[in-house]
Amino acid sequence: MLWLRWASYSQEPMDIREIARRAKVSTATASRAINRVSTVDPQLAKRVWKVVDELGYYPNTQARALVSGRSRIFGLIVSEFTNPFFPEIVQTFENLAVGNNYEILLTSTVNDPRRMELSVRRMIERRVDGVAILTFGMEETLLEHLRFRSVPLVFVDVGPDVRGIANIRINYQNGIRQAVQHLAALRHTRIAFVAGPLHLKSALARQEAFKASMIEIGLPPELIVVGDHRLEGGMRALIEIGRLNTRPTAVLCSNDMTAIGVMRQAYDQKIKIPDDLSVVGFDDIRMAEFTMPPLTTVQMSQKDLAKIAFQALLNEVEGRSTSHERHEYELTTNLVLRLSTALAPAGRPSTTPPKRVGASRFRKVSTTVQSD
Amino acid sequence: MLWLRWASYSQEPMDIREIARRAKVSTATASRAINRVSTVDPQLAKRVWKVVDELGYYPNTQARALVSGRSRIFGLIVSEFTNPFFPEIVQTFENLAVGNNYEILLTSTVNDPRRMELSVRRMIERRVDGVAILTFGMEETLLEHLRFRSVPLVFVDVGPDVRGIANIRINYQNGIRQAVQHLAALRHTRIAFVAGPLHLKSALARQEAFKASMIEIGLPPELIVVGDHRLEGGMRALIEIGRLNTRPTAVLCSNDMTAIGVMRQAYDQKIKIPDDLSVVGFDDIRMAEFTMPPLTTVQMSQKDLAKIAFQALLNEVEGRSTSHERHEYELTTNLVLRLSTALAPAGRPSTTPPKRVGASRFRKVSTTVQSD
DNA sequence: ATGAAAGCGCTAACAG
DNA sequence: CTGTTAGCGCTTTCAT
């Protein structure tokens, strides 16, 4: 706190020159000491650091960035913070950022083309060192602006056509197959699927995974209704499903909000879950643990996703990767058993809920990521 | 897209000098044109802008900040992104930021003193123009670092002792009184309160508001159990309440997660809500709408909070406020009726749920805030 | 109204 | 190993 008293009676600029002067060294040496360059004489270094601490000197990052050409900022573009899928990602990303002396420039597109464009512009203006785009849909032309400036990019789930940018591919099939087989094992044969907005690649992929998984075990993937990945869509979907002449005993949803909508509608109609109807979600957002009953769901680990994204960016920037190879990462989804699924009503002799699992197991993703 | 083709065969730096050269003006004029200084000849300005657009030139914010001394970044310190209270705040804050050409430096303390210190350090290093601290608890000494550098600060809910920084005071009493009176009107007389961690000012204030509200209508505020503002605490609280010899018929919770925990525990114990027990939350996080039944809760508008915080910062920075007056803002809380409250079991002749209200009404906060 | 030039705070050659 | 110095890209006097 010494510098605080100092502060009270002098308000001169505290810049690296001031530090240098007081430590009786050149600015170059001061700079080196501060940046822990090993060749600097320990004596001098100590003198510099003493002054730095006494004065509470904090280097000006802008100036640093200007001369070094690296801002130590990673951009993170998401759709919407209020989408429950993102908070965990942002938190994990930030944890990694602080640990690596990066700042994060967080931006949301709120599904507005103008905001998308603005996001990209902001990234460029602030000269970010890399951008993670977790927004399930982004105009190709905007990316060109980033690519043109050779800003490292990480993407989730874009097609295989884009070259020169890292890509995290989601293995939807794995988790969805587990979900379908879990339901089948509980004697469900009439399994419905509530899809998401099919113009989204991710929603389409989930639906396809569902169909494939059903066919795989000889069940017809017929009962499909389209939702919107929101609560309302889930509610509407269950109403629609209720009108079907062959009523399903289980419903798999394209995301958790949809599943929560289904459960809400079931609650309103006094349909008991899981006794009358088994429900499975997708994503494993935080809320999935808090529903009643807790939701069985396919987990797409937001933590792992963030870790992979961050690490990919870091690899790119620190040049640990030769720039001409194709950078592919994979995130595998897995079923998390909770309490919203049970034996199918017809074949159920007694109420035997599936064993509850505390934590989920993952198959390790195909890339090494730093732990928390 | 013209500049994109240009880009393909020349990779020179696109800086303001390049713009100036191509527009056949001086860098000074280029700068003025880009910054829309009115005195610049329209002809020249147009020429400059043409080049800017063709080349896809984006000014370097670092350089700008360095010379102007203003970074156009606001710091936003929160406790934890995964705390459901924050996403809406962050989103609103960002919306306002983009609208005003600011960037936001988002930081979380995760209730770790080291991270708190780091947050402050990061703010200073990036030379933010102001900081909003929404973290219900922050060490005084850290603030000194910011105050010393005269960084404008906005705070939520700190005591009245701190001078020279803006403060948003929460009127807990208003909403909690409404909640208590709502329950009383439904013939509840044994109303329990599940408090939060009492070392938090905000938790303490809520408890005090509860006590005052009860006494006000002649009910003894005796049934108080302490939770932790998390789901688990709510669950434990209900168990504890169940052991009381005088069982309450309604429980008011210090925050929504607690209320959700209570509901979860009730679900597990087959206690029907609201028929057997009325539950009221506090905060009105997004999830409160999605519980079953939807949670009646005291709303502390996260949107309004963010708006006030941003506006306060802006006032400070744009110098619209004389720096010696005390800057106080107020946010009023209000009850939002949903479906988790009903007539007390004893005095209830039939099931008559309270009227459901779609949107809540607010008393306007005492300061003018920009709309979305 | 426009241009020349200084300089924001820092790092990185380069020279000693 | 240390110091001198030239910029990084921009805004802003100060002349014109």
Q: Do A105 and B103 touch (CB under 8 A)?
A: yes
**Same fold: B3-68 with B73-171+302-330:** no
In chain A, residues with a C-beta closer than 8 Å to the C-beta of B104 are: 106
Would you state the torsion angle of the CA atoms of residues A197, A200, A202, A204, taken in this order, to the nearest 10 degrees? 60
Strand B191-195, strand B224-226: pairing: parallel
Predicted confidence band of residue A14 (pLDDT cuts 50, 70, 90): confident
Touching check for B117 and chain A: CB below 8 Å? no
A173 vs A170: CA distance, rounded Å: 9
Q: For residue A224, how many C-alpha atoms fall within 13 Å in the half-sphere facing its CB?
A: 19
Residue A107 with chain B: CB contacts under 8 Å: 94
**pLDDT given at position A139:** 75
Residue A148 has phi, psi (to 5 degrees) of: -55, -40
B chain contacts of residue A62, beta-carbon cutoff 8 Å: 62-63, 65-66, 71, 126-127
In whole angstroms, give the CA distance from residue A252 to residue B168. Answer: 45
Question: What is the end-to-end Cα distance of chain B in Å, rounded?
Answer: 32
Residues A314-333, mean pLDDT to the nearest whole number: 78
Q: What is the mean pLDDT of chain A?
A: 87
CB nearest B292 (choices: A7, A59, A263): A263
| Residue A274 sits at the chain B interface (C-beta within 8 Å) | no
Average pLDDT, integer, range A217-237 = 96
Query: pLDDT class for A277, splitting at 50, 70, 90?
Result: very high
What confidence category does residue A372 fall into, taking pLDDT thresholds of 50, 70 and 90?
A: very low
CATH node for A73-171+302-330 = 3.40.50.2300
Of residues A145 and A99, more confidence is placed in: A99
pLDDT digits (tens, 9 = 90+) for B40-92: 999 999 999 999 999 999 999 999 999 999 999 999 999 999 999 999 999 99
State how far the alpha carbon of B210 is from the alpha carbons of A249, A344, B184, B287, B303, in Å.
Answer: 46, 47, 13, 23, 24
Task: Output the DSSP codes for A131-169.
Answer: EEEESS---HHHHHHHHHTT--EEEES--TT--SSEEEE
Closest nucleotide to the alpha carbon of B27, via C1': C3
Q: What's the CA gap between A255 and A206, in Å, rounded?
A: 9
Six-digit token pair at A251? 């419903």
Cβ B348 vs Cβ B342: under 8 Å: yes
First to last CA, chain A: 32
DSSP β-ladder status, B73-78 and A334-336: unpaired
Classified as helix, coil or strand, A170 is strand
Q: Which of B62, B104, B260 sits opposite A290 (nearest CB)?
A: B260
Q: Mutating which of A125, A258, A268, A275 best tests the B interface, going by the most B Cβ atoms within 10 A?
A: A125
> Structure pTM?
0.89
Of the candidate CATH numbers 1.20.120.420, 3.40.50.300, 3.40.50.2300, 3.90.600.10, the domain formed by B172-300+335-347 belongs to 3.40.50.2300
B6 CB within 8 Å of a chain A CB: no
Beta bridge partners of B106: B76
pLDDT computed for residue A158 by the predictor: 72
**The CATH fold of domain A3-68:** 434 Repressor (Amino-terminal Domain) (1.10.260)
Chain A, nearest residue to B55 by Cα? A145
In angstroms, the CA A285 to CA A176 distance is: 16
Q: Which long-range contacts (CB under 8 A, 24 or more apart) does A82-87 make?
A: A82/B87, A82/B88, A82/B91, A82/B286, A84/A256, A84/A257, A84/A285, A84/A286, A84/A287, A84/B87, A84/B286, A85/A255, A85/A283, A85/A285, A85/A302, A86/A134, A86/A302, A86/B87, A87/A286, A87/B81, A87/B82, A87/B84, A87/B86, A87/B87
Q: For chain B, which ranges sit under pLDDT 70?
A: 1-13, 159-164, 320-326, 346-372
Residues 57-116 of B with CB under 7 A from strand C: 63, 66-67
Where exactly are the structural domains of chain B? 3-68, 73-171+302-330, 172-300+335-347
pLDDT at B318 (0 to 100) = 81
In this complex, the residue with its CA at the shortest distance from the C1' of nucleotide C5 is: B28
B90 and B81 Cβ atoms separated by less than 8 Å: yes
**Beta-carbon count within 10 A of B349 CB:** 6
Percent helix, strand and coil across chain A, each to the nearest 5: 40, 15, 45
Q: How far is the CA of A20 from the C1' of D2 (A)?
A: 12
For residue B29, say whether its CB is under 7 Å from any atom of strand C.
yes
Distance, CA of B56 to CA of A211 (rounded, Å) = 45
The answer to whether residue A354 scores a pLDDT higher than 70 is: no
Q: Are B255 and B281 in contact (CB under 8 A)?
A: yes
Structural contact between residues A248 and A280, judged by C-beta atoms closer than 8 angstroms? no
Per DSSP, the three-state class of A15 is: coil
Residue A123 buriedness (CB in 10 A; 0-12 / 13-18 / 19+): buried
In the predicted model, what is the mean pLDDT of residues A49-61?
94
Calculate how close chain A gets to B246, using CA atoms only, in Å. Answer: 27
Å between CA of A65 and C1' of C8: 13
Nearest to B105 among A62, A90, A103 (CB): A103
Q: How confident is the model over A291-315, as pLDDT tens digits? A: 999 999 999 999 999 999 999 999 8
Rounded to an integer, what distance in angstroms lies between the CA atom of residue A265 and that of residue A268? 5
Q: Which residues of chain A make contact with B66, given a CB cutoff of 8 A?
A: 60, 62-63, 66
State yes or no: pLDDT of A358 exceeds 60: no
* More confidently predicted of B347 and A59: A59
Dist CA B152 CA B131 (whole Å):
6
